[in-house]
A and B are shown apart, each in its own frame.
Chain A
Amino acid sequence: MWAMIVKEFRELRRDRRTLAMMIVLPVLMLVIFGYAANFTVSKIPTVVVGPLAQVVSEHLHLPFDVVGVDPDETRSRAETQLRDNKAVVAVVTGEGPITFLMDGTQLFSVQTAETALGRMVQSARAAGETPPAFSIQILYNPKLNTSWVLVPGLAGLILVFIGTLITSLGVVRERQAGTLEQLAVMPFRPWDVIAGKIIPYLAVASFDLVVIIALGAGLFGVPFAGNVAVFALGAFLFLLVTLGLGVLISTVSQNQGQAIQLAFMIMLPQILLSGLIFPISSMHVGVRWIAYILPLSYFIEISRSVMLKATPITALWQPLGLLALLGVIVLGLAVVRFRRDLAPSSQTAIPLAEITDEAA
């Protein structure tokens, strides 16, 4: 038995990735997710409009974080602010009671806001004052359905799964079968091989996306309020990033086991830190920056905004642009590395072959 134990430890020591997964990963995850796992929202971006905006804003305290006060604006402007992700709560003042408009796609923020308003009323009554009359209107997801918020995010998660894991497995399978070397010798341009390898997964992922959204609508009544083209653009850019990650993983993996390990390490943070479950705004500053480098964070912002709020492209240029940037970086890196597998010595070998052919 002792021989087995010694052998097992020796093998484990050589398998650096598994070792990293066993020791470094749990520690890292505990720290990161400990700081990220937080449903409590401490600050809710709030705008106040209407003639009494100034007065009302002075009476709003945290969690309401007043980011804009505009006495000259009306309800429609306030709604635009919510639709375009500039604020989560908009307070409309004027004739009649104050209206609190809330963005129903931000479940935890809305719940926190409602609780805070309830508390304000209570403390006013306790002090013997008459609390001001107000009404609450929840937009985009009036019943605060969790599934409405989750389905657009899950769509993204499934694209990560196909793009990153399935693509990397597909490419690594080629390497393991010894066919990648053959492809390098066949009359393909590297780009033919890369595109030929990626396009089928792009097609499958696009098909899946349509199925998920149809199922979301059919089973949970998730609406699709916005522009399909904007959504498609976001999904396409996002897929380029995830497919690029898949190819990148495959270039540093010798077998499918290694590819799965790496894909898992890339997927887990996206599940927990992208705002799919925990709101990004509630995360500790120390880990929040991670959310901002994850492509899924941007896709979730786009898909929720377009599907539930019909946010126009003009208000989404930032996540779209960042996805495009990530796509260029990741896919570019993947193509460069993959090309190296397909044409490792093209610079030295082919020119000579041409010279020799010409000489003959």
Chain B
Amino acid sequence: MTWGLFSASVRFGGRAALDGLSLVAARSQVTVLIGGDGAGKSTALRALLGLVPLAGGDVSRPGKTEIGYVPAFGGIYPDLTVAENLAFSGRAFEIASHDLTDRSTQILERIGLDGVEHRLGGHLSGGMQRKLAVALALLHRPRLLVLDEPTTGIDPVSRAQLWRVISGEAASGTAVVVSTTYVNEAQRAHAVTLLDRGHAIVAGSPDEVIAAIPGAVGALRQSTQPSGPDPSWLRGRTWRIWAPDAHLPPEAQAIQPDFNDAVIVAELDHDVMRGR
């Protein structure tokens, strides 16, 4: 049983939003979709869930009772309290009421929302609302958990807390698919797919993504951007430079690129291939 997208294409009008994307949602693994705004992350997740029809390719997923989903925006009822939001999800998934109380308490504690049971969803802060959305998606213990940018716009402490919960879910056997715009979050994944305009430009484990970097990456300790033809970017106080032909300029010192560099190089490489 393999869940995921297989050479899936989605078209909106004449525009290809997904173009032959394959994405495996494996059990006990966190699969991260990473890419800029408009790269097709949400579309890919929605295609996986059957919320948008495919123009080509295949999709497979478990039945609805085994899916948990957090959409990119909202996903909670602002006019219901936290407890009422959980009660609605519980009833929808036919969780017995005594079970529901236990599970709700447990999840709220794990996710850091204990003590706000009686506050209205709409009165929670942005970060707390995202946490509640994740709690709602976890309540029925899904086998496939799909999270669309669950950490966007929330503080670093809450992000760390959410990722602990997400990793914990995977550790207990759930197939987790998460989209994010934060590269450092993708580093925690078992598998990463970097999306650009509906294409997967690189896919694999974070180590495989680093290993797949073509050419060479160097570091430059200078305050101004290097002037050569090779593309460069600022990391902290140092400039990074990427030489596709592996011939770094003499002033650059070759370094072992990290995942962050790897993602940038993959995007640059893709741009070069596209002739930008």
A: residues with CB less than 8 A from B are 176-179, 181-182, 184-188, 343-350, 352-353, 356-357, 359-360
Contact = CB atoms under 8 A, between A and B. Distances in A.
Interface string B77-108: 11000000000010011100000000000000
Nearest to B50: A349
B242 interface: no
A79 B216 CA distance: 100
* A interface majority secondary structure: helix
Given A178-B72, A178-B74, A184 B51 contact: yes
Interface string B127-149: 00000000010000000000000
Interface in B21-49: 46-47, 49
Given A187-B65, A349-B59, A352-B58, A182 B53 contact: no
A345 B51 contact: yes
B75 A345 contact: no
Given A178-B71, A178-B73, A344-B52, 13 more contacts: A178-B72, A178-B74, A179-B77, A181-B69, A187-B92, A345-B47, A345-B52, A349-B54, A352-B60, A353-B61, A357-B1, A357-B62, A360-B1
Contacts of B76: 177, 179
A355 to B, nearest CB: 8
B51 A185 contact: yes
A353 B74 contact: no
Nearest to A192: B92
B217 to A, nearest CB: 39
Interface of B: 1-3, 46-47, 49-54, 58-65, 67, 69, 71-78, 89, 92-94, 136
Nearest to A350: B50
B62 A353 contact: yes
Nearest to A184: B51
A176 B53 contact: no
Contact of B74 (A176, A187, A350): A176
Given A179-B74, A181-B71, A187-B64, A356 B54 contact: no
Contacts of A188: 92
Nearest to B2: A356
B147 to A, nearest CB: 12
16 contacts: A177-B74, A177-B78, A179-B75, A179-B76, A181-B51, A181-B71, A185-B49, A185-B51, A344-B50, A345-B50, A348-B59, A353-B63, A356-B2, A357-B63, A359-B1, A360-B1
A282 B64 CA distance: 57
Nearest to A356: B60
A197 to B, nearest CB: 13
B52 A185 contact: no
A186 B61 contact: no
B51 A344 contact: yes
B59 A352 contact: yes
A176 B74 CA distance: 8
Contacts of A344: 50-53
Given A177-B74, A177-B76, A186 B64 contact: yes
Contacts of B136: 182
B1 A356 contact: yes
A345 B77 contact: no
B53 A345 contact: yes
A35 to B, nearest CB: 41
A179 B73 CA distance: 9
Nearest to A358: B1
Contacts of B74: 176-179
A350 B61 CA distance: 8
Contacts of A357: 1, 62-63
B50 A346 contact: yes
A78 B46 CA distance: 66
A186 B67 CA distance: 8
A186 B94 CA distance: 11
A324 B137 CA distance: 41
A348 B53 contact: yes
A353 B49 CA distance: 11
Contacts of B93: 186-187
A228 to B, nearest CB: 35
A324 B46 CA distance: 38
Contacts of A186: 64, 89, 92-93
Contacts of A187: 63-65, 92-94
Contacts of A347: 53
B71 A182 contact: yes
A352 B78 CA distance: 35
Nearest to B56: A348
B206 to A, nearest CB: 28
Nearest to A177: B74
A345 B67 contact: no
A185 B69 contact: yes
Contacts of A345: 47, 50-54
Closest 10 CB pairs of A and B: A178-B74, A360-B1, A345-B53, A349-B50, A356-B60, A187-B64, A178-B71, A177-B74, A185-B69, A178-B73
B53 A353 contact: no
Nearest to A355: B60
